[in-house]
């Protein structure tokens, strides 16, 4: 797989990144992160221009997000009918639904990079739930910038050590995700305690 990914990036350059990030934002299983790492490594060796590669990845991701959002607005019921046929997809869809309902635009931002498995489903839910286009777009672009800069930048810094860079990034994102969940749970507990105190005071 790694040799195939490298050949795609080498042969097609920024166009390959545009296409693959677009498809990844529509829940199509493509090696988008690995290709961005590879592009960064090629840029480090002078075989590819860094800015066009990053721009291609960002453009594809933003277009994919916008496509998913519009599909959510005009055809969510059909998309949902197909998604829930798979238990795995149905589970991710419900997680995305809960994330959008609780976090709104913040959920869009984090689902671009930290919880990227939710990204395509968050796009659909955001459109179906009536999130404003401006909020979705601003938070989506901000999150995609983090995603692209992180992977292309790490590939650039790692050079030929792509496997080690990928493992390091996975561990870092896992730690960051755990911290976010912990903070979120702590905030929920604090809010619940405040509500109980308020209820006790009224009684």
DSSP code per residue over 12-50: HTHHHHHHHHHHHTTT----HHHHHHHHHHHHHTTSS-H
pLDDT score of 188 more than 80? no
- Confidence grade of residue 131 (pLDDT, cut at 50, 70, 90): very high
pLDDT score of 185 more than 70? no
**Percentage of the chain modeled with pLDDT above 90:** 42
Look at the block and give the residue holding tokens 């990845």.
Answer: 57
Average per-residue pLDDT for the chain: 83
Helix axes 119-128, 87-103, angle to 10 degrees: 60
Structure tokens at 140: 């989506």
Query: Which segment of 33-37, 106-110, 121-125, 180-184 scores lowest on mean pLDDT?
Result: 180-184
pLDDT in tens, 62-113: 999 999 999 999 988 888 888 888 888 888 989 899 989 888 999 999 999 8
CA distance 51 to 169: 21
pLDDT score of 181 more than 50? no
Q: What is the pLDDT of residue 108?
A: 95
* Rounded average pLDDT over 37-44: 88
* Rounded average pLDDT over 164-185: 49
Query: 72 near 126, Cβ under 8 Å?
Result: yes
* Rounded average pLDDT over 193-200: 69
pLDDT score of 173 more than 80? no
pLDDT score of 119 more than 90? yes
Q: What is the pLDDT of residue 184?
A: 47
DSSP letters of 75-103?
HHHHHHHHHTTSHHHHHHHHHHHHHHHHH
Q: State if pTM tops 0.85.
A: no
pLDDT in tens, 140-166: 999 999 999 999 988 888 765 655 555
**Percentage of the chain modeled with pLDDT above 70:** 78
């Amino acid at each position: 797989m790694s040799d195939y990914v490298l050949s795609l990036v080498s042969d097609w350059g920024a166009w390959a990144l545009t296409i693959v990030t677009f498809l990844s934002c529509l829940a199509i299983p493509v090696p988008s992160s690995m290709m961005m790492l590879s592009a960064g490594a090629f840029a480090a060796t002078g075989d590819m221009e860094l800015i066009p590669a990053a721009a291609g990845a960002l453009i594809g991701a933003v277009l994919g997000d916008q496509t998913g959002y519009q599909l959510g607005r005009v055809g969510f019921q059909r998309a949902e009918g197909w998604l829930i046929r798979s238990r795995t997809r149905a589970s991710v869809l419900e997680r995305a639904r809960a994330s959008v309902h609780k976090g709104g635009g913040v959920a869009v931002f984090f689902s671009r990079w930290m919880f990227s498995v939710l990204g395509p489903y968050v796009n659909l839910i955001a459109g179906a739930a009536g999130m404003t286009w401006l909020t979705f777009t601003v938070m989506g672009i901000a999150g995609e910038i983090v995603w692209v800069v992180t992977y292309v930048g790490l590939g650039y810094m790692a050079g030929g050590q792509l496997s080690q860079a990928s493992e390091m990034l996975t561990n870092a994102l896992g730690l960051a995700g755990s911290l976010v969940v912990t903070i979120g749970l702590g905030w929920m507990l604090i809010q619940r305690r405040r509500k109980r105190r308020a209820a006790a005071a009224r009684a």
